[in-house]
Structure 1
């Protein structure tokens, strides 16, 4: 697929002259060094879409704490993201999204934009054309119900008595992925109390009068939709003592999982809904848990000055541990000494962030010792195997003055990560055997992934780590078998946490080779061929997020620095310097900025396939560094 008019000469770089490559790498190293914080960590911004900003305004309106200081810059940001057709998308270049657009429209009404204004009328026209608010997702309708714009009876019921289901019972809260679990529990309270604080406008402009389609009654999803009517009846006639006990238990569960920074789960949705739940259960705004929660939420804010005025937006989450692990790896791959001060600062910060107490993962793996890493500054309840594997790989290569400390931390982390293997041989990110399909059929679960089954990218990172460690050989080989069993017919692998098949394939090939799979084996050759066949005419690689829903986009998209680097890391792992590799390196060098960084306008990270994508600011720097470093090392 061609993305530029100028094709990079196929003979560049020459086999004997790598001056330009080394210069590009040196400039990238300087750029990465300049971004490291004095404490040793890196963190880039994580951009998502305007849904969180719209919901922040609706929450503050509901709590009667909405101020011009929050409203005006947030509305300015939301307006800036509107597309020409009046819609808002979940990623740049993607199609307009009904629910995101409906929430943005209501947020702008809260900011004072009138329905007759051109941008609002165009948005309403798009929303009606997509089926209207009647066909928006459940979370959108819940927010509108809170604001008196929708009927609570038309939202699925979520009985708090689920909190009492034991961990072995179907539909217990641990059947949900941790991000969904942290959202579902406070929503049990919100949806049970069904509060309303009306706003001074309606949403008649957003109604299409087209009813929402129900699933067929003989399907599991259809059965749950009909069962929801019974739950609504029970909600009006609950067993009083049982319901009160359930509400109390849910609040205790929420409070027990508030993190040191005040947030919940390290992400925005559980934090917002937990604050609503506490408020509805009588916790005043000056209660320490509520104050701390808002302080945590404010930590997600990004303020910027633009030509149109200041803007305010929320990150969906923050990734300092992930960014620091990747930054550490990038420095080491670039040839920076393993006892370089920047390397040691990163290592010390990571060692201090190791989590040594049990979290929700302990429900399924009670025998494992704690000793892992999470994604965020503070998320002790939910460390993940992906971060932990990358941290281990980095720390093992550091020449630390306290080698015993590093060894002790890494050893327990390896044990934890290996023990989080699911029964089928793969690894999920946060939980083991989190594979229930029943919860995905609930009417409540119409947005994003709600479970955490094993994925190729996470499994690959763990397999690569275990292979490098040389321990837990049997678990590592089971992981290898899982990866081979999940290879796509075309030779690629699906990417759960990055876009998409380039990310999955970019993770799996190095892992399989590290685990001893021959580079000439058929699975490796097929994957390498797939990558070469999907190289763009300009020498880079790119994949559009539409590949999650439209197979025509698999492996296709404008070249990006991160996706080009993922492809290169895979081909370099195969060990052959091909024309595709040379052209990919040429694209990275030629597209580098003068300050040593790269531009990346497309989202290459995945939060929830189809529903939420992420632009990791650090990806466009660390992964190209990683690829350039490996290329030069392979040639010396």
Structure 2
């Protein structure tokens, strides 16, 4: 529910703003773990829960209680039209609805029940299970509900491709790489764990789409896939395939994290467990046992009016959340030697990574020193977390300043060294820009490469400016990249947050930090874009549909986090007019009595247009950030 527009004389009234900020800071303090970290729940969609249920059935570890609690959660997320969406308020998603229907059938739901009948009707009307994404077809094939011959073949021999060759595993983004390698084993084994039902009622009977022309890359890959399927059916070259599968297995095991997972995210985790089971690893093997045990740590249990439910976080974000929380507290005026700040700082320092990782494939001589997103993901630090943590911790008044400074120097050196050749920064790898994989039949869902983005590049540039490196060649190249990336309308695309509001909210403060004048035409165009997209209630919002439908760019229900992003840009640009004041009033007027805010829309992005995230802490830390900077500015 949005607040009514307030009378003009209330705009930016500072007494109410300070009370609002104080309440928000106290609420944020109350959420800190005794060990020093913060972590908000990370919500995605029921695909995670459907696949968790199917995984347990495939591995033979399903229980009646877990099935019932998962099924109860999945049912609770179904909409009146019978569909499941990938984010609140989004359109019904075919693949998510298919996987939910199958999971509920496995849990014992009657296919004639009204909720499954409505789902099946939607699936048929949307093209049927035939039009579902490749990942969905793979899950169906695991249970004999889809032909393996009708899924794209992923030969494990990919593991042998040299690093200079297209489609070698290091040309994939880290999240895709860790998913692809185990899936090559699954694709080679083609296992079937039969179930006692069919999916006939989900089929539309429509013919498959014709192949693309053979002279196009996607058409050539489609025809290559036919050959690869034939190769697998014929038993492949047995010695070579066995060696490839062993090499892939070793690669997977070597990348298991301390919490038992892979990459700290659901897809490589579940596929790695399946692949290792197919390679003969028993469930009580330490690797398998740790993997299954670790998944429980990603499971959220709660009580509802209908009974207990369980749902799975696709990922967890304690390092990211803690870095943002420290930065927010400091901007709110909390002293740099505050007990909560120091406790969080010590926890973050202990989380800094000194282990090797796949990023060294392209930067072999670079010394490690970054931070990851999760509790345990030492193989994959990222530049975005690291930049934000440096920006926060450099302002901490730590009792061991030399220890802190050494950690920050290592982090800055690592992040700077991860700059891509074009001057921008991707999140996890440098120069991860080869688009060949995008044309594969397999790649019909999600981002599979990690090229530089405006939001990540902006965070790194802002970090370099704060560290006094504005005149460095790396910073200058980063600024040039950002200037080239500005959209014609004055905004910037947001890769990891929704969307142009996020990108613009990141880039404008970064450019100002490097010395760009608030009156520069680049900044004025961005400010004008933000003012033109402010909602009547004073807030800002951008619907996730903006990733696939340009008419939604800058449009959507107001949210606390997106409003804060816009305000951060306006404050950096030295704005003091009505858009700023109305945005501040929106945050004051929509605050809950406990000091927090409600946010019913997702504002985080996993894969633009395909996978969206609701960060439960965003609705608190970013408003604190914006309110603190507003009160700290001379107006």
TM-score range (shorter-chain normalised) is over 0.9
Deviations 1:93-140 (A, max 9, x none): 000011000000000101111111111011000001111111111100
Give the structure 1 partner of residue 146 of structure 2. 150
Give the structure 1 partner of residue 387 of structure 2. 389
- Which consecutive unaligned segments of at least 5 residues does structure 1 have? none
Give the structure 2 partner of residue 23 of structure 1. 19
Pick from 155, 164, 168 the counterpart of residue 168 of structure 1.
Answer: 164
Shift of 1:6: 2.4
Listed as ranges, the matches of 1:6-45 within 5 Å are 6-13=4-11, 18-45=14-41
Shift of 1:4: 5.0
Give the structure 2 partner of residue 595 of structure 1. 594
1:281/1:564 CA distance change after superposition, 3 Å: same
- Which consecutive unaligned segments of at least 5 residues does structure 2 have? none
1:481/1:590 CA distance change after superposition, 3 Å: same
Distance 2:178 2:66 in 1: 26
Q: Check conservation: 1:542, 1:560, Cα contact below 8 A.
A: yes
Distance 2:39 2:583 in 1: 27
What secondary structure is seen at the aligned counterpart in 2 of 1:460?
helix
Distance 2:294 2:492 in 1: 37
Give the structure 2 partner of residue 466 of structure 1. 464
Deviations 1:191-224 (A, max 9, x none): 1000001111000010001133233333211110
Give the structure 2 partner of residue 101 of structure 1. 97
Distance 1:399 1:150 in 2: 59
Give the structure 2 partner of residue 580 of structure 1. 579
Matched, 1:229 2:226: yes
Matched, 1:321 2:325: no
What secondary structure is seen at the aligned counterpart in 2 of 1:597?
coil
Distance 1:397 1:6 in 2: 38
What secondary structure is seen at the aligned counterpart in 2 of 1:607?
strand
Distance 1:60 1:88 in 2: 22
Matched, 1:344 2:342: yes
Q: Check conservation: 2:3, 2:590, Cα contact below 8 A.
A: no
Deviations 1:538-586 (A, max 9, x none): 1000010000111111101111000000000000001121111000000
What secondary structure is seen at the aligned counterpart in 2 of 1:635?
coil
Listed as ranges, the matches of 1:255-294 within 5 Å are 255-294=253-292
Q: Check conservation: 1:135, 1:211, Cα contact below 8 A.
A: no
Distance 2:561 2:316 in 1: 19
Give the structure 1 partner of residue 566 of structure 2. 567
Give the structure 2 partner of residue 78 of structure 1. 74
Give the structure 2 partner of residue 522 of structure 1. 521
Shift of 1:65: 1.6
Matched, 1:379 2:377: yes
Deviations 1:23-54 (A, max 9, x none): 00000010000000111100000000000110
Q: Check conservation: 2:142, 2:190, Cα contact below 8 A.
A: yes
Which stretch of the first structure deviates more once superposed, 373-382 or 293-302? Answer: 293-302
Q: Check conservation: 1:467, 1:473, Cα contact below 8 A.
A: no
What secondary structure is seen at the aligned counterpart in 1 of 2:613?
strand
Distance 1:310 1:4 in 2: 31
Distance 1:12 1:363 in 2: 56
Distance 1:385 1:4 in 2: 35
Give the structure 1 partner of residue 124 of structure 2. 128
What secondary structure is seen at the aligned counterpart in 2 of 1:6?
coil
Deviations 1:372-409 (A, max 9, x none): 00000000010000000001111100000000100100
Count of aligned residue pairs for this structure pair: 632
Deviations 1:448-477 (A, max 9, x none): 000000000000000000111123711011
Shift of 1:320: 0.2
Shift of 1:518: 1.3
Shift of 1:70: 1.1
Matched, 1:58 2:26: no
Q: CA RMSD in A?
A: 1.0
Q: Check conservation: 2:186, 2:274, Cα contact below 8 A.
A: yes
Distance 1:277 1:287 in 2: 14
Distance 1:35 1:503 in 2: 25
Distance 2:602 2:219 in 1: 34
Distance 2:72 2:237 in 1: 47
Q: Check conservation: 1:374, 1:388, Cα contact below 8 A.
A: yes
What secondary structure is seen at the aligned counterpart in 1 of 2:558?
coil
Q: Check conservation: 1:510, 1:573, Cα contact below 8 A.
A: yes
Q: Check conservation: 1:502, 1:543, Cα contact below 8 A.
A: yes
Distance 1:576 1:436 in 2: 40
Matched, 1:332 2:330: yes
Listed as ranges, the matches of 1:412-561 within 5 Å are 412-471=410-469, 473-561=472-560
Pick from 394, 398, 404 the counterpart of residue 400 of structure 1.
Answer: 398
1:147/1:537 CA distance change after superposition, 3 Å: same
Give the structure 2 partner of residue 139 of structure 1. 135
Deviations 1:582-626 (A, max 9, x none): 000000001000000000010000001111100000000000000
Shift of 1:445: 1.2
Distance 1:594 1:215 in 2: 57
Shift of 1:298: 1.2
Q: Check conservation: 2:3, 2:589, Cα contact below 8 A.
A: no
Distance 1:532 1:315 in 2: 35
Deviations 1:57-112 (A, max 9, x none): 11111112211121001001100111111111000100001100000000010111
Give the structure 1 partner of residue 185 of structure 2. 189
Shift of 1:5: 7.7
Give the structure 2 partner of residue 115 of structure 1. 111
Pick from 212, 217, 229 the counterpart of residue 215 of structure 1.
Answer: 212
Shift of 1:233: 1.7
Q: Check conservation: 1:22, 1:632, Cα contact below 8 A.
A: yes
Distance 1:497 1:212 in 2: 34
What secondary structure is seen at the aligned counterpart in 1 of 2:495?
coil
Shift of 1:9: 2.0
Q: Check conservation: 1:375, 1:384, Cα contact below 8 A.
A: yes
What secondary structure is seen at the aligned counterpart in 1 of 2:25?
helix
Q: Check conservation: 2:73, 2:309, Cα contact below 8 A.
A: yes
What secondary structure is seen at the aligned counterpart in 1 of 2:8?
coil
Distance 2:516 2:465 in 1: 11
Q: Check conservation: 2:2, 2:558, Cα contact below 8 A.
A: no
